[in-house]
Amino acid sequence: MGYNQQDTQEFLSYLLDGIHEDLNRVKHKPYVEVKEAEGRPDEVFAMESWTNHLKRNRSIIVDLMHGQYKSKLICPDCQKVSITFDPFSTLSLPIPIQRMITLPLYFIFKDSSLHSHLKINLNLMPNAPVSEILQQLSRMLKLPVEALELKILRDHQIIEHDTSRYDVKSLKEHEGIPFVYQIHTPYIDPPLDKFNVRKLVRVELIINQKLKKNAYSEPKSFHRMFYISQEQTLKHLHLQAFTIMRVHVANFVNNEEELRKKIDISIEGMTHSILEKQYEDVLSLSQVDLLPYNIYFVTNPDGGDEGRVLIPYSADKKISDTFTLDSNREIVLELTINPRIRSEYLKLNKCKEADSLPQMMSEPKSYNIYDCFNLFITPEVLDKDNTWYCSNCKDHKQATKTMEIYTTPKILIIHLKRFRTNRVSSIGSFFYTSSSSKITSLIEYPVVGLDLRNYVLGKYEKEPIYDLFAISNHYGGMGGGHYTAYAKNPKKNAWYDFNDSMVSRQNPDELVTSAAYVLFYRRRDDDMSMSPIEVKNGGGPTQKDYA
Ligand SMILES: [Zn+2]
């Protein structure tokens, strides 16, 4: 083993396996044929698997420390079910945070003069729905959740409007990018309780630039959008667009003293009338062909100037008079930047990384050990680099795998999976291992009375209720770090802290810490005392346990 052995759980498995082999009462291990369950009841098949295990393994380690897992794999294509019962000596429990994934997304404020658009990395459970993403952003940015909508964009265009069927994992795997839009601004939209997007018309703005006569650029920035009532006027439509655009226009006019005074984006308490005043000032300064941008309805995208109809700033014409609305109730317009403006000055795509903002995680800071058990028994779909060979389909499949606990031994070793396993990746012919990290969450575990009655599937004679007698603690990070142990002296009924050459009394009220890495539990059985273990009736299941 040398000096390279860093991990106490790996060391323990190695040590217990070594002791087991040295003390194995089976001297000549017979060949054991592994059969499939073929519809036989769990009780029968589990006992057969355990008997097969005992044919080759009989030692005090097996008697005291081996339990049985049940694992079930289901082929996604032919629905073939494969069940196995395998012995274990350590129960490795996942920690909930390990399952979270990071979803990068863009957050677009409706009036970005108040806040710069954000690029945010959210940590979420893979199966969290879109509503959970919006809830998290709502808490983080202190905006009402009804004011937020998630869209999927590709090449600056909104390619999916209805994203309600997605979860975090499928969004992450999507070829497009998630954008969350703030769709409501108090000073221009009706109050939120009267803001029902189903009754409103969605207006999508494609931002492009006029290059020369009859020539228009590709989109310069991601689509903007807002909602408007069909009873409202084209003037209101212009003001909605100006809410979105005024920060960009202000960026451009920064050096033009006269205009800058008109568009004061630093105003506190923005109101509808200030907005209207600012926009009309901009309009009064310019003739139509000198405006920073114009808004067009496109009848033929390839038709040049002929294919575009200018939307006038009119307080008389209603939305419903101007546009033919289909059942989707959406209008797509072009917001075309004036050719004399260098569009990069508008900073249309400016975003700020939001890492500095406090991320309000929906996950609790600490977990209970039963959360870990629940996660352990949750079915999971195997990932692409860990497939299962389906003998029916004659192919490797991303099966659904469910692990369960069938029996538990007298001495139960629980390993909290605090270290993410090294993942070997490759780029071309270069292989590298990505750095691993340690999960430092506090896992609350009972010192007295760990109750696994809800988790042990098989019948048992002795209730699976356990008391803690030792803890292996790990401090520090991956590779480095320091181990100590807490252990109970059964004769003195006292806990001790073993720290290198130092041994001291440990307060029994301070045994639950975020350093806990491997937990050692002993089944209560009949003897309530923590007397030294007697090996009469071992920990592994016996024929009686199945009776
Ligand atoms: Zn199959």
pLDDT-derived band of residue 99, with 50, 70 and 90 as boundaries?
low
- C-alpha of residue 401 to centroid of ligand 1, in Å: 13
**Positive or negative, the Cα torsion across 492, 493, 498, 502?**
negative
What is the per-residue pLDDT for 525? 84
CB atoms within 10 A of CB 306: 10
As beta bridge partners, residue 93 has: 416
CA distance 470 to 29: 34
How far does residue 65's CA lie from ligand 1's centre (Å)? 35
State residue 48 phi and psi, 5-degree precision. -60, -45
Confidence of residue 6 (pLDDT cuts 50, 70, 90): low
Better pLDDT: 308 or 357: 308
Per residue in 313-353, pLDDT (tens digit) is 999 999 999 998 888 899 999 999 988 888 887 888 888 88
- Whole-model pTM: value is 0.56
What's the average model confidence in pLDDT over 173-180? 94
CA quadruple 65, 70, 400, 100: dihedral positive or negative?
A: negative
pLDDT for 82 equals 93
Res 184 pLDDT > 90: yes
CA dihedral sign of residues 302, 306, 307, 309: positive
Whole-angstrom Cα distance, residue 213 to residue 5?
73
- According to the model, what pLDDT value does residue 97 have? 66
- The 3 state secondary structure assigned to 293-323 is EEEEEECCHHHHHHHEEECCCCCCCEHHHHC
- Calculate the alpha carbon distances from 197 to 204, 288, 334, 403, 508 in Å: 14, 32, 22, 44, 58
d(CA 457, ligand 1 centre) in Å: 26
- Measured distance CA(512)–CA(473) in Å, rounded: 10
Q: How far apart are CA 134 and CA 97, in angstroms?
A: 20
Q: What is the pLDDT of residue 13?
A: 92
Backbone angles phi, psi at 257, to 5 degrees: -50, -45
Q: In this structure, which amino acid lies at residue 96? A: P
Q: Tell whether the model's pLDDT for residue 429 goes beyond 70.
A: no
pLDDT reported for residue 526 = 63
Q: Tell me the CA–centroid distance for residue 390 and ligand 1, in Å.
A: 5
% pLDDT > 90, the chain: 55
pLDDT of res. 235? 95
Q: What is the whole-number distance in angstroms between the Cα of residue 81 and the centre of ligand 1?
A: 9
CA gap 190, 236 in Å, rounded:
12
Dihedral sign computed on CA atoms, order 311, 312, 315, 321: negative
Domains and CATH numbers, the chain: 8-97+366-546 (3.90.70.10), 101-356 (no CATH)
Residue 130: the pLDDT is 87
Q: Is residue 487 within 8 Å of 498, Cβ to Cβ?
A: yes
| pLDDT: which is higher, 362 or 522 | 522
User: For residues 265 and 112, is the Cβ–Cβ distance under 8 A?
Assistant: no
Going by their DSSP bridges, the two strands 91-93 and 424-427 should be labelled as unpaired
Find the 397 Cα to ligand 1 centroid distance in Å: 7
User: How does pLDDT run across 128-142, given as a tens digit for each residue?
Assistant: 788 888 988 998 889
Instruction: Tell me the pLDDT tens digit for each residue of 499-547.
Output: 999 999 999 999 999 999 999 999 998 655 445 554 444 444 544 444 3
pLDDT band for position 261 (50/70/90)?
Answer: low
User: Residue 72 C-alpha to ligand 1 middle, in angstroms?
Assistant: 14
* Average pLDDT, integer, range 80-103: 87
Tokens 């809410």 appear where? 243
C-alpha 392 to ligand 1 mean position (Å): 5
Residue with tokens 């079915």: 379
pLDDT digits (tens, 9 = 90+) for 16-57: 999 999 999 999 999 998 888 888 999 999 999 999 999 999
Query: Given this model, what pLDDT does residue 456 score?
Result: 96
CA 54, 58, 63, 69 torsion-angle sign: negative
Give the Å distance between the CA of 74 and the centre of ligand 1. Answer: 8
Residue-level pLDDT at 2: 46
In the predicted model, is pLDDT for residue 146 greater than 90? yes
pLDDT given at position 430: 43
Q: How far is the CA of 423 from the centre of ligand 1 (A)?
A: 27
Amino acid at the residue 108:
I
- Quick check: 364 pLDDT over 70? no
